[in-house]
Structure 1
Amino acid sequence: MPIDFYYLLISPPCRAVMLTAEAVGVKLNMKELDIFKGEQMKPEFVALNPQHCIPTLVDGDFVIWESRPTCSYLASKYGKDDSLFPNDPRARAEVERLNYFDMGTLFHRFGEYVFPVMFRGEKEFNPDKLERLQEALGWLDGFLSGNKFAVGDNITIADHTLLATVSTIKEANVDLSKHANILAWLEKCKAEVPGYETNQKGAEDWGKFFKSRCNL
């Protein structure tokens, strides 16, 4: 049976799942859902996902939303080995730590910085919130020190999650020049992460949307 995937390309969480699907060789039945037109409120979608959020994945009779556990599910069920989502408790904990860091700190602080201007009518970006975002980027830069990828020398789902977020942050004209490890990691991802081009297109489309919303 096809695996249905409800998504919007500019959404970083959606792109993280797409990267994991690409890595495990799963072909998704793509169902674009324009949340800005309220398509997520259609009764047939709410019946699938009462939270009416994207990404949402439907694999047979199993429905899951929230991008990070969706990545974990795809890697666990369809991965040819455990490299994307390790079975070893310590290695898995490191992957999950970075996924939670992305959700609760990095992506969260990014949203605190850009969303008030994009969606809430504020006229200027708050420099204190930018400083908090730069602090989070500094932490990520430290986490990447000595590693080829987010957790050691091979790609994991933490790279998919972080790549979707960081590529979007870059398109918001946030200065990454002080974070040499992040910049080096982005180059490695560009060369080695399957599906990088699609993620980059989504990030660039997000950047255009960002600039149009903020009159930049």
Structure 2
Amino acid sequence: MKLYKLDGSPPARSAMMVVEALGLTVDAVDCDLLKGENTSPEYMKKNPVHTIPLLEDGDLTIHDSHVIVTYLVDKYAKDDSLYPKDIKKRAQVDQKLYFDATILFPRLRAVTYPMIAEGLTKPTEKMLSQIEEAYSMLDAFLSGSKWLAGDSMTVADICAVGSATGLNHIVPLDAAKYPNVAAWLNTMKQQPFVKSKNEPGDTFLGQWIASKLTSS
């Protein structure tokens, strides 16, 4: 398998974490958005949406991180703990995957993309309030369980952690206000694959965001 990725990208890190969690081997290929490598003719032919990550497994190409991680578990995992086959349990996981896809990560991208494309140096009040709202939703989801979707860790947790740690660089998480999120993040950060595949890229992303933001 070949995985096109960028360490600073939370979606790419989701795929990287699941690859490691499953003990798989992939040919990892860096694709630098800051250099426009994702809009090269060769890459655009593979993925007209020109996003990362991108997985190639034989004759199959997948360009969405949430589909990549569920595909990898369905095809290669020894059990279904990360993505349950039970239809009700899977629905709970899918809900939280879509939450990451439609709320968490887009609210991070709403800030970082204008930094790249438009030279944004200060998030608007609306951007900041939407991040606070996302924290509130995440905290509510975690109010009845230490995990996002059920009684054990799933791909929903793995996909969401990269987005959540990224948002923290823009609006630092108030642990007193969002205790469930703080506890969940602490638990996730102890996972070996989070330490090895999320932490370095998240550190880079944080440094990059800090270099772009102004205090005025």
| TM superposition score normalised by structure 1 | 0.91
Residue deviations 1:11-38, cap 9 Å, x none? Answer: 0000011111111111121100112112
Give the RMSD, CA atoms, in angstroms: 1.8
State the shift of 1:130 in Å: 1.2
Contact 1:149/1:185 (<8 A) preserved: yes
Secondary structure in 2 matching 1:80: coil
Aligned residue type for 2:13: R
Partner of 1:183: 182
Q: How does 1:118-129 map to 2 (within 5 A)?
A: 119-129=117-127
Partner of 2:76: 78
- Partners of 2:180 and 2:121 in 1: how far apart? 33
- Partners of 1:33 and 1:116 in 2: how far apart? 19
Aligned residue type for 2:213: C
Matched, 1:87 2:85: yes
- Partners of 1:47 and 1:129 in 2: how far apart? 33
Contact 1:171/1:203 (<8 A) preserved: no
Q: How does 1:40-189 map to 2 (within 5 A)?
A: 40-117=38-115, 119-177=117-175, 178-189=177-188
State the shift of 1:163 in Å: 0.6
Q: How does 1:15-26 map to 2 (within 5 A)?
A: 15-26=13-24
Secondary structure in 1 matching 2:29: strand
Gaps of 5+ in 1: none
Partner of 1:212: 211
- Partners of 1:19 and 1:199 in 2: how far apart? 7
**Cα 1:193–1:90, aligned 2, differ >3 Å: closer, same or farther?**
farther
How much identity, in percent, do the aligned residues show?
35
Contact 2:108/2:166 (<8 A) preserved: no
Contact 2:131/2:171 (<8 A) preserved: no
Contact 1:22/1:195 (<8 A) preserved: no
Contact 1:118/1:210 (<8 A) preserved: no
- Partners of 2:122 and 2:39 in 1: how far apart? 31
Greater mean alpha carbon deviation, residues 20-29 or residues 9-18: 20-29
Aligned residue type for 1:13: P
- Partners of 2:51 and 2:120 in 1: how far apart? 25
Greater mean alpha carbon deviation, residues 167-176 or residues 33-42: 167-176
Aligned residue type for 1:32: D
**Cα 1:124–1:43, aligned 2, differ >3 Å: closer, same or farther?**
closer
- Partners of 1:42 and 1:77 in 2: how far apart? 30
**Cα 1:46–1:109, aligned 2, differ >3 Å: closer, same or farther?**
closer
Residue deviations 1:180-204, cap 9 Å, x none? Answer: 1011011111223534332011111
Partner of 1:39: 37
| TM superposition score normalised by structure 2 | 0.91
Residue deviations 1:94-136, cap 9 Å, x none? Answer: 1111111111112222333454455424453212321122112
**Cα 1:38–1:189, aligned 2, differ >3 Å: closer, same or farther?**
same
Aligned residue type for 2:70: S
Contact 1:171/1:204 (<8 A) preserved: no
Partner of 2:25: 27
Secondary structure in 1 matching 2:2: strand
